[in-house]
């Protein structure tokens, strides 16, 4: 028997969908965009340079009033930036005073754009090193449903005085651990102060040893996403995830900060006091690996599986799978992008006698980073001895959403995206996205169809 459908309910649903569609169409997007949004280069004392940027908004955006200002810049410990006005911008490495823009304010109509030219007049006595500022481009707040909405883009100004002495030095001003909570990673923070006169990137390494000098773990801090500015302090974080429980006592912590090429800038040591027995974070999976039989180490949810063939281990050993902080992964190799899927294998040291086979599920987020092309995903392992990534030949099962590779070594693993890999277009059209209006339109058509179906069924029911 067919259940009758109320035409009244269909009308209400249709009205709601239309209302949502109209609301989405009326809402301003405020999608401010700036092309050529980086002023960087070598400059000579006494010379003048110009840099042109284009500011625009999309055709679906509301008209906007734009203001432009040149500010000083201060770097925060997390690597972010804070703008400084003329009163607070007193540092010797500021470029604010010799950077001007040709327009301070203008209006953009929907789909419109405007060029902004920045002029850099370098003083004759500018000195050595680098000079820094920020061009702040912002829309004036637009009231939407009683809430002021604004959009802003900051254009960094990084200037290097040509043929001057560039100094890349720094000091560790402190190494501290966070609160020690059983079952949770132990966060270790290294504060690094740039004492040079020019911007540069750094990476770090933290080693924890027990009172017998045994290495408990070595954590690498990847190369900073942006450069540290002169005179600024950057805090490098590392998560210590012990492979086993810790007894009460004192543990030594050694922290190093290096340039990208590995040149040591500074090294500092401190102690980690464990005042109560500490239980290590729960492993994703554990296994007693025997030389005489094949075994499979698997996470509880089945998303990570490592098959060890018979004879892979020379002696019996306890092996475990553990989480690994994605933000602590070293910088990826060229043409590769890290995803959020990563893990650590504890217990296997050196080379296996036979290769193990890894099967790892990739996530929706991993696939999105690969622009929905699973064929671009790879499994990669980090070689801690040689400090380098090895990207493995990887099999992809799109139906099962898994990646498979074989290796006889590796402790830290990650899913990466190979941006240089080719893809098959299939039904996808690169660079094309479905507008919200089309999606809503399809929904409206579907609801309208069911509305008429409802009327037909209701009338049919009345004739019974």
Residue 19 lies in a domain: no
Residue 13 lies in a domain: no
Measured CA to CA, the distance from residue 269 to residue 396 in angstroms comes to 44
- Do residues 306 and 414 share a domain? yes
pLDDT, tens digit, for every residue of 326-369? 888 888 888 899 999 999 998 887 788 999 999 999 999 999 99
The CATH number of the domain holding residue 119 is 2.60.40.10
pLDDT of residue 393: 94
Residue 140 lies in a domain: yes
Q: What is the rounded average pLDDT of the residues 445-453?
A: 48
User: Domain residues for 63?
Assistant: 33-161
- Do residues 393 and 445 share a domain? no
Helix (H) or strand (E) holding 364: helix 364-369
> Last residue of some domain: 244, 274, 304?
274
- CB within 8 Å of 146: residues ≥ 6 apart: none
Residue 74 lies in a domain: yes
Match 């007193």 to its residue by tokens. Answer: 90
**How many domains would you assign to the chain?**
4
Match 């060029």 to its residue by tokens. Answer: 115
Measured CA to CA, the distance from residue 418 to residue 378 in angstroms comes to 7
pLDDT of residue 457: 44
Asked whether residue 5 carries a pLDDT value surpassing 60, the answer given is no
- Do residues 140 and 43 share a domain? yes
Residue 264 lies in a domain: yes
pLDDT, tens digit, for every residue of 151-205? 889 999 999 999 999 999 999 999 999 889 999 999 999 999 999 999 999 999 9
- Do residues 190 and 302 share a domain? no
Residue 299 lies in a domain: yes
Measured CA to CA, the distance from residue 75 to residue 231 in angstroms comes to 9
- Do residues 154 and 258 share a domain? no
157 and 134 Cβ atoms separated by less than 8 Å:
yes
- Do residues 47 and 99 share a domain? yes
- Do residues 304 and 363 share a domain? yes
Q: What is the rounded average pLDDT of the residues 194-222?
A: 93
- Do residues 324 and 349 share a domain? yes
Measured CA to CA, the distance from residue 106 to residue 347 in angstroms comes to 63
Q: For residue 63, what is the DSSP state?
A: P
Residue 220 lies in a domain: yes
**If you average pLDDT over every residue of the chain, what do you get?**
83
Residue 49 lies in a domain: yes
Which segment of 175-189, 276-290, 332-346, 435-449 scores lowest on mean pLDDT? 435-449
Q: Bigger pLDDT: 384 or 371?
A: 371
- Do residues 293 and 408 share a domain? yes
pLDDT, tens digit, for every residue of 390-399? 999 999 999 9
Q: What is the rounded average pLDDT of the residues 8-31?
A: 41
Q: What is the rounded average pLDDT of the residues 279-297?
A: 91
- Do residues 155 and 212 share a domain? no
pTM listed for this prediction: 0.70
- Do residues 141 and 255 share a domain? no
Helix, strand, coil shares of the chain, percent, nearest 5, are: 15, 45, 40
pLDDT of residue 142: 58
- Do residues 439 and 413 share a domain? no
> Last residue of some domain: 235, 254, 274?
274
Which segment of 6-20, 26-40, 183-197, 199-213 scores lowest on mean pLDDT? 6-20
Measured CA to CA, the distance from residue 246 to residue 269 in angstroms comes to 20
For residue 373, count other CB atoms closer than 10 A to its CB: 20
Look at the chain and count its residues: 464
224 and 201 Cβ atoms separated by less than 8 Å:
yes
């Amino acid at each position: 028997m067919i259940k009758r459908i109320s035409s009244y309910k269909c009308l209400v649903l249709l009205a709601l969908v239309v209302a949502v569609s109209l609301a989405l169409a009326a809402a301003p997007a405020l999608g401010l965009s700036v092309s050529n949004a980086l002023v960087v280069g070598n400059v000579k004392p006494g010379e003048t340079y110009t840099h042109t940027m284009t500011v625009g908004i999309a055709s679906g955006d509301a008209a906007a009033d734009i203001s432009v200002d040149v500010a000083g810049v201060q770097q925060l410990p997390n690597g972010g930036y804070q703008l400084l006005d003329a009163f607070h911008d007193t540092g010797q490495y500021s470029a604010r005073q010799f950077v001007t823009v040709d327009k301070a304010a203008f209006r953009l109509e929907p789909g419109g754009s405007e060029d902004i030219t920045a002029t850099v007049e370098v003083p004759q006595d500018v000195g050595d090193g680098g000079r820094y500022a920020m061009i702040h481009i912002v829309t004036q707040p637009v009231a939407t449903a009683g809430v002021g909405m604004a959009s802003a883009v900051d254009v960094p100004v990084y200037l290097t005085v040509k043929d001057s002495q560039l100094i890349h030095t720094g000091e560790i001003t402190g190494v501290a651990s966070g609160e020690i909570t059983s079952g949770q990673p132990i966060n270790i923070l290294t504060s690094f102060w740039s004492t040079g006169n020019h911007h540069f990137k750094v990476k770090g390494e933290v080693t924890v040893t027990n009172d017998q000098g045994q290495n408990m773990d070595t954590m690498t801090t990847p190369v900073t996403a942006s450069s540290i500015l002169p005179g600024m302090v950057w805090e490098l974080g590392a998560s210590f995830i012990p492979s086993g429980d810790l007894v009460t006592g004192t543990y030594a912590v050694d922290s190093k900060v290096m340039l990208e090429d590995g040149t040591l800038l500074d090294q500092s040591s401190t102690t980690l006091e464990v005042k109560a027995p500490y239980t290590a974070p729960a492993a994703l999976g554990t296994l007693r690996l025997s030389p005489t039989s094949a075994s499979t180490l698997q996470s509880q949810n089945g998303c990570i599986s490592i098959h060890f063939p018979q004879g892979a281990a020379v002696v019996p050993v306890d092996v475990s799978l553990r989480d690994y902080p994605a933000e602590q992964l070293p910088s990826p190799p060229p043409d590769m992008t890290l995803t959020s899927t990563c893990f650590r294998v504890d217990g296997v040291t050196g080379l296996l006698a036979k290769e193990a086979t890894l099967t790892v599920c990739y996530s929706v987020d991993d696939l999105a980073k690969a622009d929905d092309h699973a064929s671009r995903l790879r499994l990669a392992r980090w070689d801690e001895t040689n400090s380098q990534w090895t990207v493995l030949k990887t099999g992809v099962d799109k139906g099962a959403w898994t990646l498979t590779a074989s290796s006889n070594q590796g402790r830290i693993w990650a899913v990466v995206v190979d941006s240089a890999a080719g893809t098959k277009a299939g039904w996808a059209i690169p660079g094309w996205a479905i507008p919200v209006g089309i999606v809503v339109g399809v929904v409206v058509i579907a609801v309208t169809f069911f509305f008429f179906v409802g009327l037909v069924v209701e009338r049919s029911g009345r004739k019974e």
